Amino acid sequence: MLKFWKKKPTDQGSGENEEAADQVPAQTEMPERASVPEVTPPPEPTVAEAPTKRSWRERLSGSTFARGLNSLFSRHPKLDDSLLDELETTLITADVGIEASTSLVENLRKRMHKREFADAGALLQALRQELITLLKPVQKPLDINGHKPFVVLTVGINGAGKTTTIGKLARRWRDEHHQVLLAAGDTFRAAAVEQLKTWGERNQVPVISQGQDADAASVIFDALQAARSRNADVLIADTAGRLHTQGGLMDELGKIARVLKKLDAEAPHEVLMVIDGTVGQNAVNQVRQFRQIVGVTGLVVTKLDGTAKGGVVFALAREFGLPIRFVGLGETATDLRVFDAEAYVDGLLPADFARA
Ligand SMILES: Nc1nc2c(ncn2[C@@H]2O[C@H](COP(=O)(O)OP(=O)(O)OP(=O)(O)O)[C@@H](O)[C@H]2O)c(=O)[nH]1
């Protein structure tokens, strides 16, 4: 245990470890130190990129959801039961989920039979409203001002987009003038540490890392100490992608959370689960499994610009009611958007009917 605190010759000499060690209560479980933490300092700022922010519709219009609705309403402009039957199929095909799709359509069918809609356009407007109503409760942006440093622990399965999302978050919060620190806690995948360092360099944000195969809890613990001693506003910790069946790796998440609590009883302040939006209904199972291991407090749904069908966001909202903090609409730094129910729905609907 003492070994963990012993200052290594190549330490940066900041005195951070000693200072934070004084604040640590008696330890029963400590992360194993595999190697000396490395701090990658941010390089000098370069001229800021000036990316053009593309609209939600530009990004979402290729989805099965958007294409399905467009084609349905142009092929079938007449208001009747078969339009609703096809609408139900379109929603299910787009990953909205059977229960949510059926309940949405049956509700619209009842209203149609009560002659609430003059034409198919009015039905589409009602659908827009219902979809927004489904998503509004999960539109709860992440507020990082309540704690200092605010600790965000990102979790998810392999390739979901955690590291990329962290890079985008670093950029966003840095642009909002927060002091950001990153922890390279994905010590499992060879390239993950380098990938995070690249994002750090690109966004002038320091990264705390050890070598590959280091103990993730140790890296993240060190990073929280560093964040405290540097008076950083936010620490974002990466973790290795894992499946619920990988017991050892799942236990590691619990260990990371416990070790963080030794420094701050309320940390992590956000357990952000990153979900690949192209995996369809599987996303629902993933969230269910991760929730049982670590108390997920918010979701990020990525890759909605790609081959995602678009509907999984509704399925997640209906199933869990967990806040959807952000959605990934592309691979560049500014492509992570704060989730906005109306903008999302309007990005999926045919342009003539959406309000955007
Ligand atoms: N099109 C698109 N691609 C994305 C988005 N977010 C992430 N990606 C891509 O998804 C791939 C995987 O992203 P990573 O960030 O490496 O995923 P990870 O979850 O850290 O992966 P592991 O370390 O294996 O767990 C990369 O090629 C990213 O560029 C997004 O919103 N849109």
User: Contact at 8 Å (CB) between 259 and 219?
Assistant: no
Ligand 1 pocket member 328 (CB < 6 A): yes
Sign of CA dihedral 255, 257, 258, 259: positive
Residues with Cβ < 8 Å from 147, sequence gap 6 or more? Answer: 264, 266, 267, 269
Identify which of 59, 301, 302 to mutate to test ligand 1's pocket (most ligand atoms within 8 A of the CB). Answer: 302
135 C-alpha to ligand 1 centroid (Å) = 24
- How many other CB atoms are there within 10 angstroms of residue 196's CB atom? 28
Pull the structure tokens for residue 225: 């100490």
Q: Ligand 1, closest atom to CA 160?
A: 19
For 302-333, the pLDDT digits (tens) are 999 877 899 999 999 999 999 999 999 998 88
149 C-alpha to ligand 1 centroid (Å) = 26
ipTM for the assembly: 0.95
| Nearest-CA residue for atom 5 of ligand 1 | 303
Pull the structure tokens for residue 298: 């918010």
Ligand 1 pocket member 160 (CB < 6 A): yes
Residue 72 CA, distance from chain mean position: 31
Give me the helices (H) in the chain, please.
2-5, 16-23, 56-60, 64-75, 81-93, 98-113, 120-135, 162-175, 192-202, 216-229, 247-263, 282-293, 312-320, 341-348
Q: What's the longest Cα–Cα distance across the chain? A: 79
For 180-232, the pLDDT digits (tens) are 999 999 988 878 899 999 999 998 999 999 977 789 999 999 999 999 999 99
- Mean model confidence pLDDT for the chain: 85
Question: Is 0.95 topped by the overall pTM?
Answer: no
User: Contact at 8 Å (CB) between 256 and 153?
Assistant: yes
Ligand 1 pocket member 158 (CB < 6 A): yes
User: Contact at 8 Å (CB) between 119 and 79?
Assistant: yes
